[in-house]
Amino acid sequence: MPLGLYCMSENIADGAFGRLLRFWRRVRKRSQEDVALEIDSSIRHISFLENGKSLPSREITLRLADYFGLSGRETNNLLVAAGYTPMAIGALNPRDTDILQQSLVATLRGFDPFPSAIIDRSGDVKMVNRGWVEILGNRVSSFQHATGFNLMDIFFAKEGLRRYMDNWQDGICALLVTMQQDVFIYQDPMAIANLQRYLKDPDLPADWQVRGANLLTLSGMYLRLSLPGDEPRNFIVVINTVGSERFIPDPMLMIFSVFPQDDEVADAWQARLRGNTYEHTLLPY
């Protein structure tokens, strides 16, 4: 459910592919002749590629990546530099998985006290931080100790956040528009099933597409919440992709976060977390 659609950057520097090709050829200690022979090309063509006089086909780009033994990340660097859409990286190897796990935990820690969760492409929650458990989890009883749930469920559930939202219909329309775009792009079966389920909610406005589209911004959207024991306040909801799109694993991982507009709320939330310990199946630290 990313809040922005990925597109190829228009700011790829001229000659970027050639510089990358020359870099990897030298790292692997290969001559232009070696490369040409291996990928069934000519020395002249390899020279033109390195000098920025030509750009390769997608097939040639992938042959080069295979010849140089590049990882999924570096392969996508080559594809993007050549002007092509990056490929899904697929399953991470154990070392990458361990690094990703550590980075996600560090990211969630860094977002405390602001409620944050790691979600996948279909919106399923994989990890939460302490701020999530304290600020949101304690107010949605059915999700306090759930081993797994969909992010949208906490907005649609009758006992969920909708009872605290002054603009529930606006907020849910905006979230559904982002979800619909994701479905169009990736055709993920689970996301499709979830979207169809949410669209059956009787309280959903008939014009949800138009209404939601008019509320989206590049960075996120606003929600107005009246949390127990506090006055109505505006909060900023942001969904960021983990890493840049061309580097991330499949399934896509994103960070969903809620930020108060008032500094005093942030200070109060920080004080509530201080000295407290939390237990939750989705809390990794």
Rg (CA), the chain: 23
Which CATH code of 2.40.160.20, 1.10.275.10, 1.10.260.40, 3.20.20.80 fits the domain covering 16-81?
Answer: 1.10.260.40
- Report pLDDT digits (tens) over 154-198: 889 888 888 999 889 998 998 898 888 878 867 888 889 999 999
Is residue 218's pLDDT more than 90?
no
Whether the predicted pLDDT of 254 surpasses 50: yes
Query: Crossing angle of helices 168-186/189-198, nearest 10°?
Result: 150
Q: Is the pLDDT assigned to residue 63 strictly greater than 90?
A: yes
CA distance 33 to 128: 52
User: What is the domain partition of the chain in residue ranges?
Assistant: 16-81, 94-273
pTM, 2 dp: 0.70
Q: Which fold has domain 94-273?
A: Beta-Lactamase (3.30.450)
Name the more confident of 266 and 158.
266
Rounded to an integer, what distance in angstroms lies between the CA atom of residue 152 and that of residue 281? 19
What's the pLDDT at 148? 80
Looking at residue 91, what is its pLDDT? 57
pLDDT at 66: 95
Residue 51: the pLDDT is: 95
- Ramachandran class of 255: left when φ > 0, alpha when ψ lies in -120 to 50, beta otherwise: beta
- Per-residue pLDDT, averaged over 92-108, amounts to 82
Please answer whether residues 150 and 125 qualify as being in contact, where contact means their C-beta atoms are separated by less than 8 angstroms: yes
Q: Extract the tokens encoding 119.
A: 């979600």
Kindly report, residue by residue over 9-43, the tens digit of the pLDDT: 456 778 999 999 999 999 899 999 999 999 999 99
Q: How far is CA 15 from CA 36, 55, 178, in A?
A: 19, 9, 35
Look at residue 118 in the predicted model and tell me its pLDDT.
Answer: 94
pLDDT digits (tens, 9 = 90+) for 231-243: 899 999 888 887 6
How much is the pLDDT for 6? 34
pLDDT on residue 1: 35
Q: How high is the mean pLDDT of the chain? A: 85
